Amino acid sequence: MPRFAFRIEYDGGPFAGWQRQAILPSVQGAVEAALVRLEPGDHTIAAAGRTDAGVHATAQVAHADLTKDWDPFRLSEALNHHLRPAPVAITACARVGDDFHARFSARERRYLFRLVSRRAPVVHDRGKVWQVQNPLDVAAMREGAAQLIGLHDFTTFRATMCQAKSPVKTLDEIAITEIALPSGQEVRFHLRARSFLHNQVRSIVGTLERVGAGAWAPEDVGRALAARDRAACGPVCPPQGLYLCGVGYPEDPFA
């Protein structure tokens, strides 16, 4: 059976997450329903990461085995037609080998978190960013974030229901950039690792926001990490500012 890889963009707001749900809408369910319109029967697609409810993606990667050897462009066009009006789009499609697996072949995942600090309510980016009202010290947040880079036990920064076998992960990068807005600031957190624990990104960003607001000192982040205790974590930020923005493979399937 021919195997196809898809790069998928979606607004996570209307969905209960990536993973198929019995009753609630999911991104996986939407794509599989579109596939059924093209090839009747059961379809199961595997993704690089199972994003939570409300989390967005600009470059999720998934794969599926089909019966027909589709032209990739025609396949993506047909899927996008049947996905309407759901806020989901196939932005790239490629024929891949049987040894390609969207999850297990991945070598890194990249996330973006968008945080806006301003007094007035967010209008155009409503549901796409986390808004706080206090100004943020970006230099202090960078100092705190530096203590999380490398191989660590991230027990403090993972959800209690996390199903990963080990809390030990290598965090390769946290880059924090600032964009001046007419009425405030937008702070963007770029995180890169081979894999992440459940709620790890949101736990880290929520903790760093406390540093930026002056409630935590930068060195408190290192103390929280060393505690290996979920209770030592800062508040977990909401999902709407989080985007899965890239998945790396030994060879780019869409090159």
Domain residues of the chain, as ranges?
Answer: 3-105, 108-246
> Selecting from 3.30.70.580, 3.40.50.360, 3.90.1150.10, 2.60.40.1120, what CATH number does the domain 3-105 have?
3.30.70.580
Q: What is the pLDDT of residue 22?
A: 85
What is the identity of the amino acid at 255? A
Q: How much is the pLDDT for 196?
A: 97
- Partners of 111 in the beta sheet? 191, 244
Phi and psi torsions of 210, nearest 5°: -65, -35
Residue 105: per-residue pLDDT: 97
Torsion of CA 119, 125, 129, 132, to 10 degrees: 0
Task: Give yes or no: 42 in active site.
Answer: no
Output phi, psi for 193, to 5 deg: -160, 165
Strand partners, 235: none
Query: Global pTM?
Result: 0.96
Say what the pLDDT of residue 207 is: 98
> What pLDDT shows up at residue 1?
85
User: What is the DSSP pairing of strand 130-132 with strand 150-153?
Assistant: unpaired
pLDDT for res 12? 97
Catalytic residue among 11, 52, 98, 137: 52
- CB contact at 8 A, 211 and 223: no
First to last CA, the chain: 22
Intrachain domains 3-105 and 108-246 with the same fold = yes
Structural class in CATH, domain 108-246: alpha beta
243 assigned to a ligand binding site:
no
Residue 43's pLDDT is what?
Answer: 87
Residue 89 has a pLDDT of 98
The pLDDT assigned to 162 comes to 86
* CA gap 214, 207 in Å, rounded: 11
Residues 116-152 as b/e (b if ≥16 CB within 10 A, e otherwise) read bbbeeebeeeeebbbbbeeebebebbbbbbebbeeeb
pLDDT in 10s for each residue of the chain, 255 residues:
899 999 999 999 999 999 998 899 999 999 999 999 999 888 889 999 999 999 999 999 999 999 999 999 999 999 999 999 999 999 999 999 999 999 999 999 999 999 999 999 999 999 999 999 999 999 999 999 999 999 999 999 999 888 889 999 999 999 999 998 888 999 999 999 999 999 999 999 999 999 999 999 999 999 999 999 999 999 999 999 999 999 999 999 999
Kind plus residue range of the DSSP H or E element containing 65: strand 56-65
